[in-house]
Chain A
Amino acid sequence: MSRYLDTIAALATPVGTSAIALVRVSGPDSAQLVTDIFGEAPAPRLARHADYRDRQGLVLDDVLFTFFAGPASYTGEDSLEISCHGNPYIAQRLVEDLLSRGCRSAEPGEFTQRAFLQGQIDLAQAEAVMDLIHARSERALAAANRQLRGALGQQMTGLIDELLIALARVEAYIDFPDEDLPAEDRKIVENQIANVLRGTDRLLATRHYGEVLRHGIKTVIIGEPNAGKSSLLNRLVGKERAIVSPEPGTTRDFIEEVINLGPHCFRLIDTAGLNPKPGAIEELGMGKTYEIAAEADFFLVVLDATSPTPLFDIRLSDLLSPDRVIVVVNKIDQPGSPSTLEFLPPARSVAVSAKTGLGLEDLRSALIGLADGLAPHTGDDAIAINARHAHALNQAKADLASAQLKLGENAASELVASDLRGALAALGEISGRIDNERMLDALFANFCIGK
């Protein structure tokens, strides 16, 4: 049926622009995936409502899915379309789960390419497909290159170099058994693998932008009690979530809401009011406010236009760097209220009324502007690349762990090497293919080989 052996998956709708995200899967495993994920037999062309369960059995979202049996499908092969909630975090988790089940992250334009190759389209259509692949790959490539030039690229180079030396250490004893090499010391290899593993973990953990995509940009709303923080959150989210009360200090626990603005996703966190009266129950909430503020990407500092400008505790004011802050002057519906206040002058400032909605558009644009600065490359390519990074790093981790296990069991060198080569190939999916010449360079630089 299908001319392809692998099943591809990717997010088909751009992130954050719609309420529904579409994840598309195509290839021979599609039917099996329906059974595995939804626990039911695939029924072609029937939209089904079901819980999406990840490999651990955790429900990620309730989704609508449709299975298409080839050739009556977009790509002409068995395929699966899953509509989930537009929250990029959820869409991302879905794609990652599909990758962990053995799907490959689709290349730019690959669905269309498969569609073309399965059916028979004429040359004009083919050229349109080629243009599409070209355009999308240029974008993907540009995004990938940007990332590789940065900290990610540097860390990758470090990891790859270390792994190459570890591999060279194993390969030397395979390919040069008759040489006068020092006795093989597998402990060194084990240590190097442990280093690389630490590195992959570090990378997986410190990929800040990846985190941002997953969880939204952490935006903490702070201000004095009754400044209108909760009201503002409700305005932005568009529903009653936080408790709004004329009684100061009602927001004791944290309230989080995810919103999409332009191409970005924000996680808004409402906090207890600052400067509570000493001894009040809100003091408990304060500790948490500092904690959460320390991890914030952005701050919305809400000021009450009708009250004097407050003084912030040093623990907070240290965190408030102007490029991460929007000063929101609230309650401008109140007669006689000023539209600007002398607070952190270099930061952006917008005047709003959480009550009437006045100025909310300005606030949204300001948030988007700030986020553009944080992540210049958003959009579907970026999220695809990130899913791929995580997948590749996890693949490398699995291979490295397997190599460690084998070293522990004193297994044959070529099997250890096989895992290390697998790990290297996985890292190569991020950095670009790693030629064996580089391993040989490491080998001949570290061992005196040759008769």
Chain B
Amino acid sequence: MVYNSKLFDVIVCGAGHAGVEAALAASRMGASTLLLTGNIDTIAQMSCNPAIGGQAKGQMVREIDALGGEMAINTDVTGIQFRLLNESKGAAVQSPRAQCDKKAYQFRLKHTLELQANLQIFQATVTGLIFTSGKVIGCRTNLDLDFMGKTVVVTTGTFLRGLMHIGQNKNEGGRLGDFSAKTLSNSFLEAGIELQRLKTGTPPRLLGRSLDFGKMQEQKGDTQPTLFAFHDTRDPQDLFHVEQTGERRLGWKPGFEQVSCWMTHTTAETADIVRRNLNKSAMYSGEIEGVGPRYCPSIEDKFVRFADKPRHLLFLEPEGRSTNEFYVNGLSTSLPFDVQVEMVHSIPGLEKSVLLRPAYAVEYDFAPPTQLYPSLESKKVENLFFAGQINGTSGYEEAAAQGLVAGINAVQKGRAGEPLIIKRHESYIGVLIDDLVTKGTNEPYRMFTSRAEHRLLFNHGSAELRLLHHARALNLLSPQRIARVEAKKNSINTWIKRIETERVAGHIFGDRIRSQGVDSPTPNSFDLVPPEVRQEVLYNVLYKGYIERERRHVLKLEQTEKIKIPADLDYSSVRGLRRECAQKLAAFKPYTLGQASRISGINPADISVLLVLIESTRAGQGRP
């Protein structure tokens, strides 16, 4: 039976961080969109710690905002603590981070979805996909209701055959208290999509009033909070303030009434407890087959791998304003519950703490992302898109970024338009997706600034300048906002030019700034320029040499990036291509010459051969 008997343009399965952005992007582009999710009370739930941003992720959230996504503004208005990381370092590697009110975050997003035109949300668990001749055409659900769509975006997170471990104890589910999507995996396997297992973990949650904060060190938010959304170029009606009337009543004025986090550490006793019970850990007793992330080790991993480190830092992070629940950042584990209790009680300030939820590890299926085109569409099944943790990533920001791109590209696919493919040298989102689809991953993939070759160009303040051309081409922002970003860009360029040509006491302003620092004199009235413009100008002036060097590199890269490889290219018939290389390329189907050049084992001569072929074919077609 087909509920509603409507053919949607886009169906999104799973309202996590990826699904929410995908659904909003699609519907905002005018596509009729359906968002199916197992439980609409857990829309955009933060499975792990209630924080958004941080190194590289913070920049990525601002990029999401630059492309019309919701994560940034939602964080700003539900954030309860804001900090700019790496404030002592250069702007390129400074990243905003915020603690959010977990429930407020969710409910504001849910409300946003409810009010969104062209979007229908519905609670149902997707049990399988409906295919016809290599294409997806809809999904089946646990309610025996089928839904038909031109395109389907799968954003089911950790839920595919999710299995949670607490010592020997096992529960099925994508996260504690949630269900496990058990049959959907079969649909993928049937369609020839390969699945593998990954693992991640989360620490226990504690009751605030059972904690002794006197024994901990307080960590306050910044007095001048750095927000994620580009408030300066957004339309006033897109902003939310408490004093504002209108339909959206959730959230609060960004940066007000911040709350603190608290720092403590493990002790020798903690180490001892962990070591004594190591064989009971699900990780160490061989219960878990999935691969966990190197950057997010469990506490047992830390004590084993860095045995000489006497103690490990822990952060107590509040889960919200209207709850007394605290997240213990740094204490992820799959040890049995009784050991967890003993362990927690060995920590200063946590001696008498009451556990509200246990720590656990979760294993789940993911679909290796090299099976996707850079548009995030499956190479195996047409019109089927994947985004988020199912692609092997970890983190809300990584998920949201992919969701946004997948949502946009599902719409473009339905309209036979060009997909949005953001390049590696344009943004972290570009690096993220290119890494995933070109290299794949064998651990949960998280973004680091070091993954970006051109990170000096990726300072968080420039996100909307860097991505403006995409936003404009796809109408992702309102015309008013586009105009404002353009004006901002012009103003920045004008000021850079003035500073690099005008003189003070015989010296170019720019030279002075570079030799004597940002407090050197600037042309008259530069003081009156809005701070976000000032910062951008000064960044460009200070780092001029580096930025120019990076831009030169980028210019070269762009040449191969621009050359698309025909999807139907028969590699086996290409003369001069090594056999193993032809096979690899045929299996991979790279989208551009640039992508082909990044596939491991493909060498420059192979690329030259391809280039000659593509150009000669094109030249041939161009002739009468």
- Residues A127 and B575 in contact, CB atoms below 8 Å apart: yes
- Residues B612 and A415 in contact, CB atoms below 8 Å apart: no
A4 to B305, CA, bound (A): 49
A183 at the interface (CB under 8 A from B): no
Q: Which residues of B contact A120 (CB under 8 A)?
A: 619
Known: A6-B556, A122-B616. Is A413-B89 also a contact (CB below 8 A)?
yes
A175 at the interface (CB under 8 A from B): yes
- Residues A116 and B612 in contact, CB atoms below 8 Å apart: yes
Q: Which residues of A contact B603 (CB under 8 A)?
A: 137, 141
Q: Which residues of A contact B293 (CB under 8 A)?
A: 450
How many chain A residues touch the partner (CB < 8 A)?
Answer: 53
Known: A123-B616, A174-B449, A414-B93. Is A109-B55 also a contact (CB below 8 A)?
no
- Residues B312 and A134 in contact, CB atoms below 8 Å apart: no
Interface residues of B in 303-357 (CB under 8 A from A): 305-306, 309, 312-315, 329-330, 332
* Closest Cβ neighbor of A134 among chain B residues: B576
- Residues B296 and A413 in contact, CB atoms below 8 Å apart: no
A171 to B451, CA, bound (A): 11
- Residues B576 and A450 in contact, CB atoms below 8 Å apart: no
- Residues A117 and B612 in contact, CB atoms below 8 Å apart: yes
Known: A448-B306, A449-B295. Is A137-B605 also a contact (CB below 8 A)?
yes
A437 to B443, CA, bound (A): 11
Interface of A is mostly: helix
- Residues B576 and A174 in contact, CB atoms below 8 Å apart: no
Q: Which residues of B contact A127 (CB under 8 A)?
A: 575-576
* Closest Cβ neighbor of B85 among chain A residues: A177
Interface residues of A in 404-421 (CB under 8 A from B): 412-415, 417-418, 421
- Residues B546 and A450 in contact, CB atoms below 8 Å apart: no
- Residues B616 and A126 in contact, CB atoms below 8 Å apart: yes
Known: A107-B605, A174-B449. Is A121-B616 also a contact (CB below 8 A)?
yes
Q: Which residues of A contact B329 (CB under 8 A)?
A: 451
- Residues A171 and B315 in contact, CB atoms below 8 Å apart: no
Q: Which residues of B contact A451 (CB under 8 A)?
A: 49, 296, 313-315, 329-330, 332
A403 to B620, CA, bound (A): 49
Among B90, B450, B556, the residue within 8 A (CB) of A440 is B450
User: Digit string of A93-137 for contact with B (CB within 8 Å is 1, else 0)?
Assistant: 000000000000001111001001100111101110111111011
- Residues B455 and A440 in contact, CB atoms below 8 Å apart: no
Known: A134-B605, A412-B89, A448-B312. Is A175-B616 also a contact (CB below 8 A)?
no
A126 to B449, CA, bound (A): 41
Interface of B is mostly: mixed
Q: From residue A400, how far is it (CB to closest CB) to chain B in Å?
A: 16
Known: A133-B605, A418-B546, A451-B329. Is A444-B294 also a contact (CB below 8 A)?
yes
User: Digit string of A282-325 for contact with B (CB within 8 Å is 1, else 0)?
Assistant: 00000000000000000000000000000000000000000000
User: Digit string of A413-439 for contact with B (CB within 8 Å is 1, else 0)?
Assistant: 111011001000000000000011101
- Residues B605 and A414 in contact, CB atoms below 8 Å apart: no
- Residues A141 and B90 in contact, CB atoms below 8 Å apart: no
Q: Which residues of B contact A5 (CB under 8 A)?
A: 555-556, 559
Interface residues of A in 123-182 (CB under 8 A from B): 123, 125-127, 129-134, 136-137, 140-141, 171, 174-180
Q: Which residues of A contact B89 (CB under 8 A)?
A: 174, 177, 412-414
Among B54, B55, B332, B612, the residue within 8 A (CB) of A130 is B612
- Residues A414 and B55 in contact, CB atoms below 8 Å apart: no
User: Digit string of B41-74 for contact with A (CB within 8 Å is 1, else 0)?
Assistant: 0000000010000111000000000000000000
Known: A177-B55, A450-B295. Is A412-B616 also a contact (CB below 8 A)?
no
Among A178, A412, A414, the residue within 8 A (CB) of B85 is A178
Q: From residue A420, how far is it (CB to closest CB) to chain B in Å?
A: 11
- Residues B450 and A175 in contact, CB atoms below 8 Å apart: yes
A116 to B55, CA, bound (A): 46
A122 to B555, CA, bound (A): 29
B216 at the interface (CB under 8 A from A): no
Q: Which residues of A contact B451 (CB under 8 A)?
A: 436
- Residues A130 and B450 in contact, CB atoms below 8 Å apart: no
A179 to B448, CA, bound (A): 14
A137 to B605, CA, bound (A): 6
Q: From residue A395, how far is it (CB to closest CB) to chain B in Å?
A: 13
Q: From residue B455, how far is it (CB to closest CB) to chain A in Å?
A: 7
Q: From residue B185, how far is it (CB to closest CB) to chain A in Å?
A: 28
Q: Which residues of A contact B290 (CB under 8 A)?
A: none
Q: From residue B378, how far is it (CB to closest CB) to chain A in Å?
A: 25
- Residues A415 and B576 in contact, CB atoms below 8 Å apart: no
Q: From residue B454, how far is it (CB to closest CB) to chain A in Å?
A: 10
- Residues B616 and A110 in contact, CB atoms below 8 Å apart: no
A132 to B609, CA, bound (A): 9
A449 to B332, CA, bound (A): 13
- Residues A113 and B608 in contact, CB atoms below 8 Å apart: yes
Q: Which residues of B contact A450 (CB under 8 A)?
A: 293-297, 302, 330
Q: Which residues of B contact A110 (CB under 8 A)?
A: 608
B89, B302, B456: which has the most chain A beta carbons within 10 Å? B89
Nearest first, the 7 A-B pairs at minimum CB distance are A137-B605, A130-B576, A134-B576, A180-B313, A126-B616, A448-B306, A412-B90
Chain B interface residues (CB < 8 Å from chain A): 49, 54-56, 85-86, 89-90, 92-93, 265, 293-297, 302, 305-306, 309, 312-315, 329-330, 332, 439, 448-451, 453, 455-456, 546, 555-556, 559, 574-578, 600, 603-605, 608-609, 611-613, 615-617, 619-620
**With A4-B559, A449-B294 already in contact, 19 other A-B pairs whose C-beta atoms are closer than 8 Å:** A107-B604, A117-B612, A126-B616, A129-B612, A136-B605, A137-B605, A171-B448, A177-B86, A412-B89, A413-B89, A415-B90, A417-B450, A418-B456, A421-B453, A435-B439, A436-B451, A449-B297, A451-B296, A451-B329
CB-defined A-B contacts under 8 Å, sample of 9: A131-B575, A133-B612, A174-B55, A175-B448, A178-B85, A414-B449, A440-B294, A450-B295, A451-B313
